[in-house]
Amino acid sequence: MAAGSIRVTMEVGADGVALITIANPPVNALHPIIIAGLKDKYAEAMRRDDVKAIVLTGAGGKFCGGFDINVFTKVHQTGDVSLMPDVSVELVSNMMEEGKKPSVAAIQGLALGGGLELTMGCHARISTPEAQLGLPELTLGIIPGFGGTQRLPRLVGLPKAIEMMLQSKFIAAKEGKERGLIDALCSPNELIKTSRLWALEIANCRKPWMRSLGRTDRLASLSEARAVLNAARQQAMKVSPNMPQHQACLDVMEEGILYGGQAGVLKEARVFKELVVAPTSKALVHVFFAQRSTTKVPGVTDVQLKPRPIRKVAVIGGGLMGSGIATSLLVSNISVVLKEVNPQFLQRGEKMIAGNLEGLIKKGSLTKDRMHKAMSLFKGALDYSDFKDVDMVIEAVIEKIPLKQSIFSDIEKICPKHCILATNTSTIDLNVVGEKTNSQDRIIGAHFFSPAHIMPLLEIVRTEKTSPQAILDLITVGKIIKKVPVVVGNCTGFAVNRTFFPYTQASHLLVSLGIDVFRIDRVISSFGMPMGPFQLQDVAGYGVALAVKDIYADAFGERNLGSNLVGLMVKDGRQGKVNAKGYYIYEKGAKPKPDPSVKHVIEEYRKQANTMPGGKPVTLMDQDILEMIFFPVVNEACRVMDENVVIRASDLDIASVLGMGFPKYRGGLVFWADTVGAPYIHSKLSKWAEMYGPFFKPSSYLEQRAKSGVPLSAPGTSQQGSARSRM
């Protein structure tokens, strides 16, 4: 972005209103140049005798998307908090709110974060009805820092302000008007004119000169406010126990309620600066930028290729994955042909799609009209006759190599020459899937995660022969269907399942050593995973574990840990959540409960495994359990990076967060490992390798990084050929 396109302009009209405009495409983020410009223009407007009032707006149909997050990265790299300009007191409080001339915010498009905070420093807010308003700062590990924690409760009331801040919830300006955040609504064409008139009316004492920070009429009594804050604290501890910004935000709000808005603003500024350099903010800002870099693929997105339109997609297989994939496409206005082997399976697939859509309606993310539109784009098929004009095929049948090979051989003959031939396999080598075709340049992996219409990750797997065009087209489809695409290389398990194959295996090893199944799950959940490895196995179903067992054994050799625990569970009549009986008992409408009767299966497994030293259970701290499960995962991630299966370490961070539920506030798997340190991880794995065998043996990549002190996430000094993910 050229510095010349980042500017603040001021035009004074004959009516005596100064129109100050923020310009920093695409969302008018508050770059330090913008903040300096606002201070200059406000100072000038206050000095000039021909200026009676001020209207603040944004260029290009957007007010302001908030503070420029790139500045946070510079603060994190340097540790220098002084890089954060003083906006809250100097600009918003002193120059705008306490200024001797009234300010009116003219809002359209969006006013988020620092952008909304600027508007609350104005004396009135005029907006178009659909403009999005919100304070999403907590998603970056910080709190609103330009007075938002104080002014929002004074405008919309404490309960709504807490909801908007702690849940980072946006509201439309129409609701903002009902809540008291917006003073008037008007059309985009009338926005500036209406705002100018409003500003003059304030200046001429015909409308109230409202300073948000001084208001108390929307605040409840002290006892009511405390009750609301305490309830919010309890909820935050339950929902976000590892995120300090939630409690900090509530503390700062309470300060303002107890001691007045000005005291609240000063505490907010202090706490904001503490949180900006805290580990949670560093991790969440890393994830924010990492997610935006996954679609930058060398040799694909930087070579002037243009994506081709994908209007019609065929999905083969209407089971859980196929119906989920079809749902994602349909709600994004892409026509779908679902192919099944018989009418019963086809009917089941169509029912599952309808059920998925109904579920989205219940969650409020889909309207009935959009559901009907989606189903109008659906067609079922029992043969390939409708494949003659499809732009892409996604195969989602069971993991059987001969079946997949025959499907790809058939569709190659029927589909048009430009059609992308994709497989949703989670483990099978793509070269094997497509070896009986002559179209290797069109064969690509489109690995969705279950449930496919909800999980946000799309692993795009390429072989040495996959064309850049096919990759670009699938990246584009991924964006259209609101997935985060991560391009990876072709190997067993690809990036996510390969990196995390030791996760379940390590948990089985710990059980064989005498550690309680449910304690392991509690430790892993407390770390921040959505559930522990045993509950995850219940939910995923034991069929998956049994299907990949031999594939992993062949691919990973001595570092694969053979375990027959799942086989013993199946033998005991347990299938996990599918038959409501696994490690846990599943009852409708109730939380899963540990099943005490699983004890005899565990005892049989320990007896067969025979790994307890001297036949006695080992004694481990919770920290040991955590490390023995996650350090082997980090070790495999090192191999994945060393073999260039991913383009960059941060792609693996995003894949771990979105594909496996690794806690976002820890920055993703590799980012977290770097905070722990390669030397420590290496020393622990070396010790366990001596005690328990090659499953824990450190990789050469980890060993080199531990010795050199170079972070695991740092790019390698030399690429061994071209990256698999870049081929």
Contact 54, 103 (CB under 8 A): yes
Contact 192, 152 (CB under 8 A): no
pLDDT, position 111: 98
Q: Is residue 461 classed as helix, strand or coil in its secondary structure?
A: strand
Contact 392, 307 (CB under 8 A): no
Q: Is residue 71 classed as helix, strand or coil in its secondary structure?
A: helix
Q: Is the dihedral of CA 233, 238, 242, 243 positive or negative?
A: negative
CA–CA distance, 264 with 88 (Å, rounded to integer): 11
Residue 75 buriedness (CB in 10 A; 0-12 / 13-18 / 19+):
buried
117: CB partners within 8 A, 6+ apart: 87, 88, 92, 135, 144, 145, 146, 147, 148, 151
Which one from 11, 97, 137, 268 is the annotated catalytic residue? 137
CA-nearest of 548, 601, 532, 609 to 570 is 601
Which one from 11, 44, 97, 117 is the annotated catalytic residue? 117
Residue 476 buriedness (CB in 10 A; 0-12 / 13-18 / 19+):
middle
Contact 519, 705 (CB under 8 A): no
pLDDT, position 207: 96
pLDDT, position 3: 55
Q: What are phi and psi of 697, to 5 degrees?
A: -60, 125
77: CB partners within 8 A, 6+ apart: none
Q: Which domains, and CATH codes, for the chain?
A: 7-277 (3.90.226.10), 312-490 (3.40.50.720), 496-717 (1.10.1040.50)
Q: Is the dihedral of CA 255, 260, 263, 264 positive or negative?
A: positive
pLDDT, position 545: 86
pLDDT in tens, 636-672: 999 999 999 999 999 999 999 999 999 999 999 999 9
Q: Is the previous residue joined to 26 through a cis bond, with omega within 30 degrees of 0?
A: yes
117 is annotated as an active-site residue: yes
In order, the DSSP letters of 379-416 are EEESSSGGGGG-SEEEE---S-HHHHHHHHHHHHHHS-
Low-confidence stretches of the chain (pLDDT < 70) are 1-4, 717-727
pLDDT, position 723: 52
pLDDT, position 562: 87
In order, the DSSP letters of 137-152 are GGGGT----SSHHHHH
